[in-house]
Structure 1
Amino acid sequence: MEANTQPDSTNLSPAVVASVLIVDELINGGVREAVVCPGSRSAPLALAFIEAERAGRLRVHVRTDERTGAFLALGLAKATGRIVPVVMTSGTAVANCLPAMVEASLSHVPVMVLSANRPLFMAGTGANQTIEQSEIFGTHSVHAASLGNLAGAAETLEAAQVATVSGADVDHAAVRNVIARAMNAASDPMRGGGVHVDVPLSEPLVPDSMDELSLFAQEVAQAGGDSAAATGNLEGGDCATGNLEGGDCATGNLEGGDCATRNLEGGDCAAKSSDPSETPRPVFSRPLPFGKVTVDLSKRTLVICGAVADMAWAREIIEELAGVPTLAEPLAPVPDFPVHPAGSPMFTAGAVSQGEYSAATQPEQIVVVGRPTLHRSVSQLLADESIHVIVLADTYSVLDVTGNVAVVGSTVDVVGEHPAGWTKVCQAISDMGVDAVRDVLTSSDEHFTGLHVAAVVADSLRDGDALVLGASTAIRDAARAGLPFHGVRTEANRGAAGIDGTISTAIGVAMAHAAEDPTAIRAPRTVALMGDLTFLHDVNALNIGPMETRPDNLLIVVTNDAGGAIFESLEPGDARLRTFGDGTSAFERVFGTPVEVNVEALCEGFGVNYRRAESVIALHDILADHEEQPAPGITVVEAAVERAWRRKMEKTIAQAVTPS
């Protein structure tokens, strides 16, 4: 078939035709993974995706829970840098995607919620499974669009009753245009994130036969030339990122089909491959939102680095700042001069003295890279009006909670030399933090806590591993255990810092991580570390159907302290607030939230491997065994720890790094 010849769709319904076009446009834009949740109204979309998988154009993951499905898409998108759509039917199915959409937009991860809908005239009529869903995510999506009647959905009840619309009446270019604009918005390097495309569909929702669907999909794929993604022919539209004139989308020209993968050098977005996992990760060449700033090292300077959208950009920044003391969170690049976070309270002390010697410990200047959010002492520093704060950002999301930021940039020019003794002071502060954590771990051999678990997990990591951290206590314990590490990709849902969807995210990361080298004899390892509440919050993620691909070599370590450990170190955990005068529990009931769940039985029910550790030595041995001979699929290791010791441990560390 000649390029740009519209395939014959006379015998197919508009819903089926539009669904095939949507899937083809997504693939032309670089999509290689998709998550599909079952539903009647979304049937044509589901069938179009399965047909594309049958043809070797992408890989489909089916999930029965839309919330876990959306977080699975988030994990896949985090690990690959590509847009991952998640498909569902109408109604509350769409609403279940809100937590993942919030996280995707705040973390600038390209996830697309592709929701089927009833014809729009049915909203507000009391029709079954019908809600106002076209703009359900509000400000939590970076772009929202509806196909309206482009997929042949009837505009009125009378039109629905006549039902004379043929698949041949579907405007191919218009359908593709809506999808291409959404892809550009999702993958915009400075404003991208979660997007929503609502697809109203009228019956009939399925083809007369699968052969008809396959033939039409094949013809559409072969035609290919009218793809908006491949041509950059995006007609009008804001795209939430700027005007889409000739495919610009405020991110640079879309040459050769650069939609779902930002700027692909070489231009072939549709990269022909019989195995989606063999499609290479995108190569980024991108504009930046802000200009160059100058950092004068003659001021006492501290770099604080947090989560970033573009790790390659962050590594370049950290290289430019080599030799500058850097407090890096686990999601940041590994710095040249790391400062342990446990010592960070010393930077708020102003100065310390011993005898006739004194030294200034407060930085005069802080350079923030990305979005650090973990440590309260860091927040105190950033709020100090006497400190000159510079923020370096790769997106338009700039961390400035207290309005204290003086300068914002995206690249840096370093001048000057460190003041005498400043780097020695920073090294001493870092050493104090390291010693404080080491002492509390070694002096409490009879105790087994979440910090012990994080230390053992950190010690077990090897070059090439991927690590997924729970967003609450786990990531903070990992920071104290010394992360980030060279050669270990670390992910966490710290955009909104919610604990929901962590297992699903880890599964997505693990499957994408394994697909990076599909010829490997053994899949590379992904380790996930999370607390018991985080695990239980998303335990349905382990419900993976027998016909679905399971992650291989995924190790989930669950720190089970029977409740919410983080509150032990926060104000509600104070001894004066734990009970009322008559002995009625306050803290334990509403903050500790103790649970009594048989994790082993849960794992058995889901068909997941299970191990249990009740000591540091036992956990070390289990992790060593798994590294040597990993069990296939998913393994859950339950580390049964004590929560009561947490508050004393936190107090001991704090006292060790607080100047007297």
Structure 2
Amino acid sequence: MRYSSIPSAQSVILHCKAKGVKDIVISPGSRNAPLTIGFTEDPYFKCYSIVDERCAAFFALGIAQNTGKGVAVVCTSGSALLNYYPAIAEAFYSDIPLLVISADRPTYRIDIGDGQTIRQANVFKNHIGYQANLKQDVLHATATVQKYGKALLLAKESPETQQNNINNYNGVELQKAIDYALEERSPVHINVPFEEPLYNTQDYASVFPSIKEEEDPTLETCSRLDDFAAIWNNASKKMILVGVNKPSVVEQQFLDELAEDESVIVFTETTSNIHHPSFFNSIDSILAPIEKLDNKDELFTTLQPDVLLTFGGLIVSKKIKQFLRTYKPKHHWHIDGKKAYDTFFSLSHHFKVDTNTFFNAFLDKTKYKESGYYEYWSKVKLGYEQKREAYLETIPFSDMLAFSKILPNIPSGYQVHLSNSSTVRYAQLFPLKSALKVYCNRGTSGIDGSTSTAVGSSIYAKKPTVLITGDLSFLYDSNALWNNYIKPNFRVIVLNNSGGGIFRILPGQEETDNYKTYFETTHNLDISNLCKMYSIDYKLAEDEEMLEKHLENFYEESDRPKLLEVKTPRIINNKILLSYFDFIS
């Protein structure tokens, strides 16, 4: 096995290996050659080559999202590093352990006019868990360091002594950074300056870092549970709202127990991966019709909870946020082992434990409360479900009708990735099979990186993956297809309404050239050409009959990935969606 001859490069590789960081996503470059050599020469690591750094970071995020383990991305110096930022921000807000390892130029070459040189240290300071700026080696390229980097050398110490101190410093920083990423579920940045030569290797390791074993994290106990249980037991209106969750995280026995209490209603989102026949899985179908009624204040007051209990990540529905910010609960408790957002400006307590630990301790102390809370809103739910089916019989081919056909057709067990904007919001309107595993980048809710994330996540998925995305999101991230890791069972469904259809739903929409150019960004791009370039099987549906026909064999085994483009009328989609809420009200 070959090692880079640069000590700091060896340290990075050895620390990643010791901490079990196995998946390494590398983008090409010269300055990061010492890292690339070290990772690719060691059979312990599984390395991936992704040219586009923005795609590489989302690809790595997808792997980490699926496995829950730390994944590293490695790039060269300069602007290459900045392309990681969107995925870093997503990892920061979605609690994903992403290790960003960047090669850098020596400090004495920064801001003197050298190419591919920027101020890399602390560049992600607002969206990073820990920043490790490693020190440059002095026993590598010593003559160059003595000539240009005299400030790095101490006159009273030999280069050997100084290198030993550098090794120790870098080791401590690497341990802190990697431990933070894995324990706090956070992105970290490790910046490593290298002087040339960059490609020299040796057959042995010259660095022997002292790496401490990771301590088992201890969960904070749920203190004062009796007091909270008393509040819960006295409340006749209790709402549970669930945001983003990994599949199969919350034990079903707790969900079943909550469903039996007639004073509890549970609102779930498509991204929550929480299922029960008694739960409310289309929040907007409850709230949007009320907004249109003369007695809306009376109904919203009836819905207003005494206690709001939340867990999971960020919430998609704007309407539930608006409702709970206006009709605030008396108590808002959030369950999460790391953080609690005051999303509704009423947070009163943070239970800093995982969800199962909380419910295991809490539900034993609770009692069922007689209440008409669930019964009343259950009738409302049944009403809109019946009206939704009736409405679908009346509408022409459109985004909404397409989603009503696509979602029930996904085979059980599939991993489903949703892009943001219109896609995830349409998915919120329909129930999904409980056997599906749903993912979506809701940390920052951006359209960038959805395809790359889905491809990365599919690497370790035991079942096939389908990405459902809009045309702009898909085209924005088309470089996600530029790699050799897309499985033959990978599926993509692109809802193409020739632009940013969601802007037609938002206030301020008007049919002008300015609006179409700068907001909706209409286009006539041919997605089939992309599929041809990347050897992806392509099918097109432009009406309901064609869609149903293509869906019949879309998920059958194949020797290459498949993409189904669904073209819907640009002009009518927003009218059909908005009319839906009128219809069910």
Classify 1:384/1:407 alpha carbon distance in 2 versus 1 (closer, same or farther; 3 Å).
farther
Partner of 1:503: 451
Work out which of the residue numbers 266, 279, 285 in structure 2 matches 1:326: 266
Partner of 2:183: 188
SS at match of 2:239: strand
One-letter amino acid of the structure 2 residue matched with residue 404 of structure 1: S
Taking only aligned residues, the RMSD between alpha carbons, in angstroms, comes to: 3.3
Partner of 1:468: 417
Tell me by how many angstroms 1:461 deviates. 2.3
Partner of 1:520: none
| Aligned equivalents of 2:275, 2:25: Cα separation in 1 | 36
Partner of 2:533: 605
Partner of 1:299: 236
Tell me by how many angstroms 1:290 deviates. 6.6
Tell me by how many angstroms 1:288 deviates. 5.0
Classify 1:126/1:309 alpha carbon distance in 2 versus 1 (closer, same or farther; 3 Å).
farther
Query: What's the CA shift string for 1:561-609, capped at 9, x where partnerless?
Result: 0001111221022xxx434xxxxx3432222210111100111112222
Partner of 2:47: 60
Partner of 1:237: none
Which has the higher mean CA deviation after the structures are superposed, 563-572 or 92-101? 563-572
| Aligned equivalents of 1:227, 1:316: Cα separation in 2 | 44
Which has the higher mean CA deviation after the structures are superposed, 644-653 or 83-92? 644-653
Tell me by how many angstroms 1:365 deviates. 3.1
Partner of 2:355: none
Unaligned runs of 5+ in 2: 151-157, 353-357
Alignment of 1:406-417 (within 5 A): 406-410=348-352, 411-412=358-359, 413-414=362-363, 415-417=366-368
One-letter amino acid of the structure 1 residue matched with residue 486 of structure 2: R
- 8 A Cα contact 2:219 2:337, kept in partner: no
Query: What's the CA shift string for 1:334-376, capped at 9, x where partnerless?
Result: 24322132333179679998xxx99934433322222342222
Tell me by how many angstroms 1:487 deviates. 2.1
Partner of 2:440: 492
Which has the higher mean CA deviation after the structures are superposed, 434-443 or 88-97? 434-443
Partner of 1:30: 20
Work out which of the residue numbers 571, 574, 577 in structure 1 matches 2:507: 571
Which has the higher mean CA deviation after the structures are superposed, 397-406 or 420-429? 397-406
- 8 A Cα contact 1:116 1:198, kept in partner: yes
Work out which of the residue numbers 295, 299, 309 in structure 2 matches 1:367: 309
Partner of 1:533: 472
SS at match of 1:79: helix
| Aligned equivalents of 2:288, 2:502: Cα separation in 1 | 22
Partner of 1:258: none
Alignment of 1:128-139 (within 5 A): 128-139=115-126
Alignment of 1:550 with 2:486, yes or no, is yes
Work out which of the residue numbers 543, 546, 558 in structure 2 matches 1:631: 558
SS at match of 2:453: helix
Classify 1:616/1:165 alpha carbon distance in 2 versus 1 (closer, same or farther; 3 Å).
farther
SS at match of 1:144: strand
Alignment of 1:253-402 (within 5 A): 253-254=215-216, 287=219, 291=223, 292=225, 293-294=228-229, 295-296=232-233, 298-308=235-245, 312=249, 318=255, 321-323=258-260, 324-336=264-276, 337-339=278-280, 340-345=282-287, 360-402=302-344
Tell me by how many angstroms 1:443 deviates. 1.2
Classify 1:632/1:452 alpha carbon distance in 2 versus 1 (closer, same or farther; 3 Å).
farther
| Aligned equivalents of 2:248, 2:107: Cα separation in 1 | 41
Query: What's the CA shift string for 1:213-264, capped at 9, x where partnerless?
Result: xx326x98xx8xx551xx33xxxxxxxxxxxxxx5xxxxx24xxxxxxxx6x
| Aligned equivalents of 2:470, 2:176: Cα separation in 1 | 39
Partner of 2:192: 199
Tell me by how many angstroms 1:543 deviates. 1.0
- 8 A Cα contact 2:4 2:38, kept in partner: no
Which has the higher mean CA deviation after the structures are superposed, 34-43 or 145-154? 145-154
Work out which of the residue numbers 541, 561, 574 in structure 1 matches 2:497: 561
| Aligned equivalents of 1:541, 1:289: Cα separation in 2 | 43
Classify 1:647/1:632 alpha carbon distance in 2 versus 1 (closer, same or farther; 3 Å).
same
Alignment of 1:481 with 2:471, yes or no, is no
Alignment of 1:645 with 2:581, yes or no, is no
| Aligned equivalents of 1:314, 1:197: Cα separation in 2 | 37
Partner of 2:404: 455
SS at match of 1:112: strand
Classify 1:433/1:425 alpha carbon distance in 2 versus 1 (closer, same or farther; 3 Å).
same
Which has the higher mean CA deviation after the structures are superposed, 95-104 or 315-324? 315-324
Query: What's the CA shift string for 1:137-171, capped at 9, x where partnerless?
Result: 11111111111225867799652569997899566
Which has the higher mean CA deviation after the structures are superposed, 637-646 or 145-154? 145-154
Alignment of 1:426 with 2:421, yes or no, is no
| Aligned equivalents of 1:591, 1:637: Cα separation in 2 | 26
| Aligned equivalents of 2:34, 2:543: Cα separation in 1 | 52
Work out which of the residue numbers 34, 37, 44 in structure 2 matches 1:47: 37
Partner of 1:270: none
Number of residues paired by the alignment?
Answer: 556
Alignment of 1:211-290 (within 5 A): 212=202, 215-216=203-204, 226=209, 228=211, 231-232=212-213, 253-254=215-216, 287=219
Tell me by how many angstroms 1:406 deviates. 2.8
Which has the higher mean CA deviation after the structures are superposed, 500-509 or 452-461? 452-461
- 8 A Cα contact 2:417 2:467, kept in partner: yes
Classify 1:494/1:386 alpha carbon distance in 2 versus 1 (closer, same or farther; 3 Å).
closer
| Aligned equivalents of 2:198, 2:84: Cα separation in 1 | 23
Work out which of the residue numbers 582, 587, 595 in structure 1 matches 2:515: 587
Query: What's the CA shift string for 1:5-53, capped at 9, x where partnerless?
Result: xx9x9xx7652x432332232122112211000101000111111112x
Partner of 1:439: 390
SS at match of 2:572: helix
Query: What's the CA shift string for 1:497-551, capped at 9, x where partnerless?
Result: 001011100100111214xxxxxxxxx210100100000110011111xxx4333
Classify 1:120/1:599 alpha carbon distance in 2 versus 1 (closer, same or farther; 3 Å).
same
SS at match of 1:129: coil
Classify 1:638/1:169 alpha carbon distance in 2 versus 1 (closer, same or farther; 3 Å).
same
Alignment of 1:80 with 2:67, yes or no, is yes
| Aligned equivalents of 1:578, 1:119: Cα separation in 2 | 54
Classify 1:318/1:416 alpha carbon distance in 2 versus 1 (closer, same or farther; 3 Å).
same
Work out which of the residue numbers 602, 605, 615 in structure 1 matches 2:543: 615
